[in-house]
Amino acid sequence: MDFVSGALFDGWRLRALTGVDAFTREALAIDVDQGIKGEQEDARAKSEAWWRNYNESRPHTSLGWLTPVEYAAAAAKIAAE
């Protein structure tokens, strides 16, 4: 787990707590918090889109160019044999 912080284009600060599985490199959770309701919902929607892309579409060199979801499925298949 790690905190990530940044700023939006209008200067508002944003913090997110992320959790990543050490074996599959899969992003397990992202919790975004900010003081303004409308921007908080926007940040959560964008973090959800990033989470899906990171886990399902973006290959990782450390996983042999597989996505975390593909890597986890391959590891589960090997473990089941």
Q: Between 26 and 70, where is the model more confident?
A: 70
pLDDT, position 29 = 65
Q: How confident is the model at residue 38 (pLDDT cuts 50, 70, 90)?
A: low
pLDDT digits (tens, 9 = 90+) for 49-69: 888 888 889 898 888 999 989
Task: Let me know if 24 is exposed, middle or buried by CB neighbors in 10 A (0-12, 13-18, 19+).
Answer: buried
pLDDT, position 54 = 84
Tell me how far apart the 2 most distant CA atoms of the chain are, in Å: 53
Of 43, 51, 5, 3, nearest to 26 by C-alpha is 51
Count up the domains in the chain and report the number: 1
The parent domain of residue 67 ranges over: 2-80
pLDDT digits (tens, 9 = 90+) for 7-35: 777 777 777 767 777 777 777 666 666 55
Mean per-residue pLDDT for 63-78? 91
